[in-house]
Amino acid sequence: MCGIAGFMHADRNRPVDPETLVAMAAIQHHRGPDGFGWRSQDGVGFSHARLSIIDLDENRGRQPFASDDGRLMLTKNGELYDFQRIRAELTATGARFRTRSDSEIVMHLYPRYGLDGTLPRLRGEFAFALYDKDDDRLMLVRDRFGIKPLYWTEVNGMLVFGSELKVLFAHPEVPRRFSPAGVYHQLMQTMVPGTTAFEGIHQVRPGHLLDVRRRDGRLQIEERKYWDMEFPQENEHPTRFDEQDYIEGVRSQLLEAVQHRLTADVPVGSYLSGGIDSCAILGLAAAAQQNPVKAFTIGFDNSEYDESAIATEMAQSAGADQDILMLDADHLYDHFEETLWHTERTIYNTLGVAKLLMSRHVTSVDYKVVLTGEGSDELFGGYPAFRRDMFLHGLDHLQADERREWEALLAESNKLFRGAMLAENAVENAALTERVGFTPSCLQPWLASAQQVPALLNQDLARELEGYDPGAAIAAQFDPAMLQGRHPLDKAQYVWIKTMLEGQILTWGGDRVDMANSMEARPPFLDHHLAEYATRIPPSMRIHGRTEKYVLREAMKGLLPDVLYKREKFAFMAPPAHTDPRKWAAVQDLAARHLTPSAIADAGLLDSAGVDALFRLHEAPDTGTATQVQLDASINHLLGVQILHRHFVAADIPQQARETANRLGWRP
């Protein structure tokens, strides 16, 4: 894992400033502290901050790469698995490799197969920029699920890209200002796919590539999809099947994904919570390595949210070397501002802070690669929102009273997360219902919180956004061809993957807080071979009656302790602010710095009266628990937009980047 950066001028004769390239690498040195490099030609410049995982030689693995004939230039972030086999095949056809890096295979695949033939051969999590001098073509490519970030903007006849927003902002010509809709979506938690909080700054969407060519002194930019999570038509799911076939298929596919992700020239550990996802990964990794695996567990001082005891049972069962990081409730908000510098977006729960502290602990004991359990719920129907959509829309045989009973049981078992994982009351959005067939339960809590947003906005922003429908903006980004004719559970999972997975779990719960401390996280469940297999699993094998992730439970039954095998899905979250007076006091301390009338006026984003009213509602004695959960999230977002303004709009990031480069001794 590394950090990449660069730009392409519309005028190929316009000089590339190497100091800017180095500064763009330096501002993200946390992603790659093991070295840097830069390269340019014909008005195109790349730079790279390196975290050495494969091929540790400082000089041999240095990027950006250039081909021997000068045609190609590459800078890449992430990992490509099964690269040894591909490398051997290419060598047999005459390719000659200069490094042992997994990245170099792209340089040999592309001339032989073109981009369309190369991408299906790439397995893993990655974001890369490839420049083809012969075609005068820049290609920005992001992995299938968006595990690795990749941002871009067009400004002043130039396309600028990088692994993080601050990398783009380190370029002196890139403006830094919020977009009105961006502020709206930061306050309601759910972003429009492909967007950011900032005007003119975009993300390459998961499974997409940006194709940039120069024509007549201008840049022609085309974004196109190369992969999607394509479920079969509802009538293509088999009605009669052998359960064991799917159980064995999941076991085989997951084991292969884990084995590939154990490939490294450094030790590989594993994150371990009390859920079956990380427990399954640990169990398979321990069996594959036949040696004790270092297992890292987060514990909280609130027993209702702490899973460390269950994780310990799994660690003992697998013979793992467990390392538990216990976190105090009020300690998390001490690092809230630092976390937002890395997430570059607001967060609704301090789990992101907890994971930043954990990645720091992991690197402090000399580990920089861990396996994680992200993606399991997305593939196998693990979230309570999926169960709700299943019994509301996917089980035609259920009687109305049965549906009500199942919904009541679901609400009771997830009462800690009501207001976050499940809406307190049903929320409908016409545009989403038209595009999906119903309003997915996973979006309903955030659509509910969106109703509060207009009153929180600066009056000028509120007027500009009058009549804005955030649900419609999100719905417009879903490919209708991927939803039409699909089973309701397939639709619900697809929507989550396009919104919550990429926008939250893999950003402020994944890459950004992991790489903040130069730590690489590898999620085997998001191997695209496993994902494509999972789309073919009948919905009743994913959610079997009231049991979520049924097929995964059965596939992993042999290595899970009984308590884990029988345990219902428990969302991994940090205790919200209202659950502990110390946490609420820490929130108030942050508010005293960032949500004062003068701070709000300086940023020009929020309305002081609306902010005060929301705090009063939070502290009212008759405010229900579910409402408090939602208000906790809203307050985190209010703090978030103010902190983002301070660090990314008001600050001089180009100057910070240059100073960082000087401090590191990174020079052209």
The phi, psi pair for 406, rounded to 5°, reads -65, -40
Q: How far apart are CA 406 and CA 611, in angstroms?
A: 37
Dig out the tokens for 468 from the structure. Answer: 């804005």
Q: How far apart are CA 506 and CA 526, in angstroms?
A: 11
Q: How far apart are CA 440 and CA 179, in angstroms?
A: 26
Q: Which amino acid is at 510?
A: G
Angle 37-39-41 from CA coordinates, rounded to 5°: 175
CB atoms within 10 A of CB 84: 12
Q: How far apart are CA 115 and CA 447, in angstroms?
A: 39
The phi, psi pair for 556, rounded to 5°, reads -105, 5
Dig out the tokens for 207 from the structure. Answer: 């499974």
Separation in Å, CA 512 to CA 125, 503, 647: 14, 11, 16
Residue 88, judged by CB atoms within 10 A of its CB (0-12, 13-18, 19+), counts as exposed
42: left (phi over 0), alpha (psi -120 to 50) or beta: left
Q: How far apart are CA 338 and CA 360, in angstroms?
A: 12
2 among known catalytic residues: yes
74: β partners: 65, 130
CB atoms within 10 A of CB 244: 9
Q: DSSP string of 602-616? A: HHTSB-HHHHHHHHH
Torsion angle defined by CA atoms of residues 139, 145, 151 and 152, in that order, rounded to the nearest 10 degrees: 40
Assess contact for 175 and 154: CB atoms under 8 A: no
- Specify the DSSP element, H or E, that contains 341: helix 336-343
Q: Pick the catalytic residue: 1, 2, 139, 474? A: 2
Angle 362-365-369 from CA coordinates, rounded to 5°: 45
Assess contact for 21 and 45: CB atoms under 8 A: yes
Helices and strands, number each (H, E), in the chain: 29, 19
Task: Tokens 């109703």: give the residue.
Answer: 451
By residue count, the chain amounts to: 668
Q: DSSP string of 483-551? A: TTT--HHHHHHHHHIIIIIIIIITIIIIIHHHHTTT-EEE-GGG-HHHHHHHHTS-HHHHEETTEETHH
Q: Which amino acid is at 461?
A: L
User: Could you tell me how far CA 445 lies from the centroid of its own chain?
Assistant: 19
Angle 17-108-207 from CA coordinates, rounded to 5°: 75
Range list of H helices, 119-242: 165-169, 180-188
Dig out the tokens for 647 from the structure. Answer: 């660090």
Assess contact for 574 and 333: CB atoms under 8 A: no
Assess contact for 267 and 293: CB atoms under 8 A: no
Assess contact for 270 and 282: CB atoms under 8 A: yes
Residues with a known catalytic role: 2
